[in-house]
Structure 1
Amino acid sequence: MLARQRQEAIAELVRQHGSIRVGALTERFGVSHMTIRRDLESLARRGHLDKVHGGAVTTEHGSTAEPAFREKRSREVAAKEAIAAEAARLVVPGCAVALTAGTTTWTLARYLLDVPDITVVTNSVRAAHTLHAHRRHRQTVVLTGGVRTPSDALVGPVTVAALASLHVDVLFMGVHGMDARKGFSTPNLEEAETNRAMCRSARRVVVLADHTKWDTTGLAAIVALEAADLLITDARIDRHGREVLERGVGALTVVEPARPPRPAAPLPLTDAPTGGVRT
């Protein structure tokens, strides 16, 4: 690969994921750390990214940036499918589960369509709509109220109050970022508060996060790594991230996204109403 082609590919990776580490780029392109650093310096001079210690970040996204749902759902699709398929194995008939908002938890909602006799509590407009509109068995779907965010989460005091009296067997939580010191985070202050309330309502917390979430930090901390009883991520997470997470979370499951299983009938993404309770 020519240097210019490699730099164009690096710029696209940073644009898609918000940030990337030098080590991940050397593994991906099979070149030295020095070569990658020169690439990053060249791209930074041309305004395509900001070079930081250990890697680079996009010039377009900071810790408060919150991409829209439609933008995020096209990223790391194979990894999200594999993570969701693994998470669905934890859900059995009779369970009460909670889903936070996000594209990975929305993907999980599609896998739950075939699980009978479950109750799903969620602040995700997209997940609730999918479960309610396409369910194939007797299920109860509870959509909390609240203020809608760009990621189609319902957040705020109304949501927190609704969650206070609920108790679920397992929470599946999506996150914007995860970091050794800062834990799990999101760009939205109210979403962080809502997710903490969901953690308090759950007997078990399972975090669903693909490899791009590692070493990324949003404005608002949700919980520390230790709060996760289980983290499911994909095999492209770097060695350092895997080692930190193995020490930090209760248990770590790494899935291979090469040929993930998919639901029998992929569902279209449609707009959904906000608030209310659906049964």
Structure 2
Amino acid sequence: MFAEERQLLIAALVTERGRVTVSDLATRFNITSETVRRDLDALEKARQLRRVHGGAVAVDRMSLSEPSLQERQTQQLDEKSRIAKAALAMIPTSRTGSIILDAGTTTEHLADLLAQWSPPAPGDQLLVITNALPIAWKLSNNPAIHLHVLGGRVRGLTSAIVGSGTIEQLGALRPDIAFIGANGVNATFGLSTPDSVEAAVKAAIVRSARRVVALADSSKLDEETLVCFAELADIDTLITDAPPSAELAAALAAADVEVVIA
């Protein structure tokens, strides 16, 4: 097989799987590790993949890669819907309850369900705090919900409200539950997101809540993006749509994180 043919196959594998290792490619194509590394170098120069320790990843899995809100709203819809339904079951049913909904498409699915929320018993109250404009808009039409929108600068790519003022407001709050999204959930790196400004707000949300529930579909598991905003031990529950890998499952268990498969 010519090198060009092999490199086309490697590029296709990376696109399909998201990640490949040098050892796997060497076995698959019956070539040396040095040859694999030369192929990966050539493909990286051609912008077909990104070299990482031990192999390569797809370009869209680079640490700074971040699709727009509109792009993410069309991805993993069924999985996000199931996760949102499982999260809805955790909404406090006490006389007065308070939650934070972080910016994100999975939390937005939860907001779609909360838009139809009604008090379980007469007089019950639910305060929803959010830093997401789409979520605020969805909940603003439900008179049964007390809505608190955090102030700050709007980040255009995600419609999240961010900045030092947002973080300061969160420091004065102590809600019952925070429902938070992440671009990556990794055994060693924890929860991460590509943008440092948004990561700072997510970290403040995690610090503020009495209980933290991470909502992440299985495409985010075992991934890591640029900025870690929470360790696994900082969250109480992970709701996802498929069982985590053995490595991540062990790390979650060690951190005493409840895993809910929706």
TM norm structure 1: 0.73
Name the Cα RMSD after superposition.
Answer: 3.0
CA distance in 1, matches of 2:11, 2:201: 39
Unmatched 5+ stretches in structure 2: 1-5, 119-124
> 1:238: Cα distance to partner?
2.9
SS of the aligned residue for 1:95 comes to strand
Which protein has greater RCO, CA pairs closer than 8 Å, 6+ apart? 1
Residue pair 2:236, 2:256 contacting (<8 A) in 1 also: yes
**Equivalent runs, 1:63-78 vs 2, <5 Å:** 63-78=63-78
2:140 match:
132
Equivalent position amino acid for 2:202 in 1: N
Unmatched 5+ stretches in structure 1: 15-19, 27-31, 256-279
> 1:107: Cα distance to partner?
0.8
Instruction: Kindly name which structure, 1 or 2, has the bigger radius of gyration based on alpha carbons.
Output: 2
Equivalent position amino acid for 1:248 in 2: A
Distance 1:33 1:90, change over 3 A: farther
Describe the superposition over 1:88-114 as per-residue Cα deviations: whole angstroms up to 9, x where unpaired.
Answer: 000134320001111111111112223
CA distance in 2, matches of 1:252, 1:33: 36
> 1:245: Cα distance to partner?
2.2
How many equivalent pairs are there? 237
Residue pair 1:212, 1:237 contacting (<8 A) in 2 also: no
Equivalent position amino acid for 2:15 in 1: A
Describe the superposition over 1:194-218 as per-residue Cα deviations: whole angstroms up to 9, x where unpaired.
Answer: 1121122211011111111122222
Residue pair 1:49, 1:57 contacting (<8 A) in 2 also: yes
Distance 1:34 1:113, change over 3 A: farther
Distance 1:111 1:54, change over 3 A: farther
2:190 match:
183
1:225 aligns with 2:232: yes
Describe the superposition over 1:146-166 as per-residue Cα deviations: whole angstroms up to 9, x where unpaired.
Answer: 122211111111111222222
CA distance in 2, matches of 1:248, 1:37: 40
Distance 1:115 1:159, change over 3 A: same
> 1:249: Cα distance to partner?
4.3
1:95 match:
97
1:192 aligns with 2:199: yes
Describe the superposition over 1:13-59 as per-residue Cα deviations: whole angstroms up to 9, x where unpaired.
Answer: 64xxxxx467xxx9xxxxx9944999x98897475323545664222
Residue pair 1:96, 1:120 contacting (<8 A) in 2 also: yes
2:215 match:
208
